[in-house]
Structure formats: C-alpha cells, structure tokens
Amino acid sequence: MQISVKTTDRTQMVDITAEVRAAVRESGIENGLVHVFSMHTTAAVTINENADPAVTADMLAFINKVVPWDDHFKHMEGNSSAHIKVSLFGPSEIIPLEKGSLVLGTWQGIYFCEFDGPRTRRVHITVMPG
C-alpha cells in the first residue's frame, strides 16, 4: 500500500503514525512486521517522540546546522544536503506488529522526514505476516 504525504517546508517532519495504523487495519494482518519506506532519495522515515512538537523542531534545527543547505556541494541539482540527511536518517523503519497493533513505545511515533520540500511524496507500507 502507498500513502501520499504533502509537505509545506524545505525540511519538515510529518507524523504518519495514524496512516500506518490504517494500513495495518486494512491489511487484516494481526502479527508480523510493518515496513515503512520512503520512495525518495531526499526524504527519510524515522521513529521518535510524538508527544512534544519541540522534539522534531530541535531535531530539524540540529540536522540543518550539521548539514547546512548550501555548503558548496558539487551535486548539480543543489540538494546534496537532502541526500546526506537521508543517508544519516535512513529511508525506512521496521515496526513489530502484535494483535493488530504497532509495537511502539508510549511516546513513539513514525515520522516522514522531508529534506527537499515542499513536495508531495509517496511512502510505501508493507505489512508482513509473521
């Protein structure tokens, strides 16, 4: 299954936990693994706290400081910063599934990480029985 994620900023973290849960429900699979994969070289997927929005703001501020947008990169498209950030974060996450529920910690959420927006992006969700 694929979902669409519309971003509004150059760098942004969008909580997609509800959409992943909906994909799990739609699959009908109760136990196994859920693979959440960004289909882009300039956007990632990560798991982190979803209770306080300051966490994602801090993460974006830090990653943008460590890998600034314009640091005299050679890539012609001008988005090397986004490619580097994806390699640091990773394009996907695997989440255990038990009794039809994602096995996440109390404060954990699944985030789509935009590093070259704004854009409309695709995320592929695979629910595997186990």
SS (H, E, C) 57-100: HHHHHHHHHHCCCCCCCCCCCCCHHHHHHHHHHCCEEEEEEECC
For residues 117 and 11, the answer to whether their CB atoms sit within 8 Å is yes
Give the model's pLDDT for residue 78: 77
| pLDDT tens figures, 55-110 | 999 999 999 999 998 878 888 787 999 999 999 999 999 999 999 999 999 999 99
- How many CB atoms within 10 Å of residue 32? 16
| pLDDT tens figures, 39-57 | 999 999 999 999 999 999 9
Those residues with Cβ within 8 angstroms of residue 83's Cβ, 6 or more apart along the chain or in another chain = 41, 42, 75
User: pTM for this structure?
Assistant: 0.95
CA-nearest of 1, 30, 4 to 126 is 1
Give the model's pLDDT for residue 69: 86
Give the model's pLDDT for residue 71: 77
Give the phi and the psi of residue 82 in degrees, each rounded to 5.
Answer: -65, -40
Average pLDDT over residues 103-123: 98
Domains of the chain: 2-129 (2.60.120.460)
Give the model's pLDDT for residue 75: 84
